[in-house]
Chain A
Amino acid sequence: MDKFNRKSIVLLVGLALLLALPPITIAMEEAYFISLFSRIMIYALAAVSLDLILGYAGMASLGHGAFLGVGAYAVGILAFHVTEETAIPFLPGGWAGSINAVISWGSAIVVSSLFALVIGALSLRTSGVYFIMITLAFAQMLFFFFVSLTTYGGEDGINLDQRSQIPGLDLADDASFYYVCLALLLAFVYICYRIVNSRFGMVMRGCKQNETRMRALGYSTYRYKLICFVIAGAGAGLAGALIANQSEFVGPGLMHWTRSGEVMIMVILGGMGTIFGPIFGAVALLLMEEVLAAYTEHWMIILGPVLIFVVLFARRGIYGFLTGDGGRDG
């Protein structure tokens, strides 16, 4: 019960801080932080989705940025054609795009799920180091594809004229946008929380611990892992759609492997296999970047030792440290 309480306190305090952030920062006349924290919430969403496959199913994907990028480009391309007033060339029906959030974010989720289905179907035939390498290769392939795709800006990407539109909400307002990001993060966290504790989730956790045993018990593990991979891809795609809106820019950099690496660092720093941990990881990493980068451009020199320390001494990352839950997998 004691642990349960400590955990609840950590989560409630965290939630209260996130909810109170816009009024506080506005009062402090540091409204810039709202925009920064929108970005953090979005990366937290991506990190939670990676934790689902990395922390619970044992799939170390180093290509998660691919889905972030695909989601962002879905929003970017749809908005691009609205601005240009042209039809989307690769889709039938002469559709001239959309800036409606439901349509463009929905498209981002669908398209990134499809990419996850194809990439996962091929990658999951391997495991271990080969899985890391093949997911990395797919992400880099997409990266170079979009770099050379001059129709949509190539290396320079697409600048968005405006954020997506939700009837009754002004997303151009940073505080509103922040709350939308926070709400989507919380919704996704809740979904993941239910999933990892469900029957399906138990199958995933079994696969992480002992896939051979799972097969011997009669589970065709490939199917379960693939579905899990697609759910994670969908989450990252949504994060991509939001990041496009946050920065009002879409570029291939999102797919670069260093971005995938950053998301993985957030998961490890925050606590693998904890669902909530990656949020703490995203806050820590991006704040650290923000603060340290003001002093030196070589801020990674400080991040490195911190990460080594966490990996060596805090298996459950920041979250495990805060909740006192050194915890076990599974």
Chain B
Amino acid sequence: MVESILTVQNLVKSFGALRASDGISLDVLPGEIHALIGPNGAGKTTAVNQLSGEMQPDEGRILFEGQDITAFPVDKRARLGLARSYQITSIFPNFTALENVAMAVQSTQGHNFRFWENAKSDLSRTEPALEVLNRVGLSDLANTIAGGLAHGQQRQLELAMGLATRPKMLLLDEPMAGMGVEESRRMTDILLPLKGDLTILLVEHDMDVVFALADRITVLVLGKPIATDTPQNIRNNEHVRAAYLGDTS
């Protein structure tokens, strides 16, 4: 039995009378792409926000590599190797694409208290950044101001930032949000080779993407996971079909 990299135990988060997370338990295995799906309002983003530390759960525990990180702030979790992307694109709009990724590289290197040497000409920052940009297919746009990139390119950039921190696990909150078919396919092509090397928890609406990428799928309905299984079994699971895929036949 493989030791899980992320263990979520009975997470509860309420907003007033609404239980957005109603006892979420989850195991993510090292190297797998684990998808978290569910209808609108199922509490997917709330769950991700608790995993990344942006929200504190009311109850429950989160273990990352066996360590209880429930009380850790966002930046500390990130330094442990738990990176994330946001549903609404979150980049540095006034930096170039290269600088965006260089900020992620710098974060892993430390040395943030250097007050004197010029950072932009520091190859130890920019070379790894360029390499990651290359991986997501943005190297041609390295010197373009990020705010001027197309939506899909900004999403790719955000993924590059996540990768550049060399995380042990990546939380991707709807990486295809707002993307066209073509862009979406591109993103899938970028994510596919990561399979096996990097653990990913993928929150996604686009079912084609989920079934193309995921090793396992957890279905969330009204803040509760109703099933965790392989894509094949999820597709055939009656409860899932009834609750989510809207198919009662």
Residues of A whose CB lies within 8 Å of any CB of B are 194-195, 197-203, 205-206, 209-210, 212-221, 224, 227, 328-330
- CB neighbours (8 Å) of A197 from chain B are 118-120
A167–B117 CA distance with the chains assembled, in angstroms: 33
Closest to B80 in A: A218
A213 and B91: CB pair below 8 A? yes
Chain B stretch 108-129: residues in CB contact (< 8 A) with chain A? 108, 111-120, 122, 125
- CB neighbours (8 Å) of B104 from chain A are 217
Q: How far does the Cβ of B197 sit from chain A's closest Cβ, in whole Å?
A: 20
B107 and A219: CB pair below 8 A? yes
Closest to B77 in A: A218
Q: Is B73 an interface residue (CB 8 A)?
A: yes
Q: Is B84 an interface residue (CB 8 A)?
A: yes
Q: Give 8 A-B contacts (CB < 8 Å), ordered by A residue.
A: A194-B115, A194-B118, A200-B115, A202-B119, A215-B74, A216-B78, A217-B107, A221-B75
Q: Is B93 an interface residue (CB 8 A)?
A: yes
Q: How far does the Cβ of A94 sit from chain B's closest Cβ, in whole Å?
A: 38
A209–B125 CA distance with the chains assembled, in angstroms: 19
Of the residues B84, B95, B118, contact of A216 by C-beta under 8 Å = B84
Given contacts A202-B99, A215-B74, 11 further A-B contacts (CB under 8 A): A198-B116, A201-B115, A202-B102, A205-B95, A209-B94, A213-B92, A218-B165, A219-B112, A220-B73, A220-B76, A328-B94
Chain B stretch 53-91: residues in CB contact (< 8 A) with chain A? 54, 73-76, 78-79, 83-84, 86, 90-91
Most buried by B among A200, A210, A217, A329: A217
A217-B103, A219-B75, A328-B145 known; A203-B92 Cβ under 8 A: no
- CB neighbours (8 Å) of B99 from chain A are 202, 330
Q: Is B156 an interface residue (CB 8 A)?
A: no
B112 and A216: CB pair below 8 A? no
Q: Is B199 an interface residue (CB 8 A)?
A: no
Closest to B92 in A: A209
Annotate B31-60 by CB proximity to A: 1 below 8 A, 0 otherwise. Answer: 000000000000000000000101000000
Q: Is B132 an interface residue (CB 8 A)?
A: no
Q: Is B161 an interface residue (CB 8 A)?
A: yes
A218-B79, A219-B75 known; A210-B91 Cβ under 8 A: yes
A187–B69 CA distance with the chains assembled, in angstroms: 45
- CB neighbours (8 Å) of B113 from chain A are 199-200, 227
A198-B119, A199-B111 known; A218-B75 Cβ under 8 A: yes
A267–B106 CA distance with the chains assembled, in angstroms: 30
A212–B112 CA distance with the chains assembled, in angstroms: 17
Q: How far does the Cβ of B219 sit from chain A's closest Cβ, in whole Å?
A: 26
Q: How far does the Cβ of A81 sit from chain B's closest Cβ, in whole Å?
A: 35
- CB neighbours (8 Å) of A195 from chain B are 115-116
- CB neighbours (8 Å) of B52 from chain A are 216
Q: How far does the Cβ of A274 sit from chain B's closest Cβ, in whole Å?
A: 14
Closest to B52 in A: A216
A199–B125 CA distance with the chains assembled, in angstroms: 9
A209 and B95: CB pair below 8 A? yes
A218-B108, A220-B75, A330-B92 known; A206-B103 Cβ under 8 A: yes
B90 and A210: CB pair below 8 A? yes
Q: How far does the Cβ of B110 sit from chain A's closest Cβ, in whole Å?
A: 9
B74 and A203: CB pair below 8 A? no
B74 and A198: CB pair below 8 A? no
A330–B92 CA distance with the chains assembled, in angstroms: 9
A198–B120 CA distance with the chains assembled, in angstroms: 8
A199 and B119: CB pair below 8 A? yes
Q: How far does the Cβ of B1 sit from chain A's closest Cβ, in whole Å?
A: 31
Closest to B120 in A: A197
Most buried by A among B73, B92, B106, B107: B92
Of the residues B73, B76, B78, B114, contact of A199 by C-beta under 8 Å = B114
A13–B165 CA distance with the chains assembled, in angstroms: 44
Q: How far does the Cβ of A247 sit from chain B's closest Cβ, in whole Å?
A: 32
A206–B102 CA distance with the chains assembled, in angstroms: 11
- CB neighbours (8 Å) of A219 from chain B are 75, 107, 112
A209-B93, A209-B94, A210-B90 known; A217-B78 Cβ under 8 A: yes
- CB neighbours (8 Å) of A328 from chain B are 94, 145
A194-B115, A220-B73 known; A199-B106 Cβ under 8 A: yes
Closest to A200 in B: B115
- CB neighbours (8 Å) of B86 from chain A are 212-213, 216
Q: How far does the Cβ of B172 sit from chain A's closest Cβ, in whole Å?
A: 12
A197-B118, A198-B117, A330-B95 known; A212-B90 Cβ under 8 A: yes
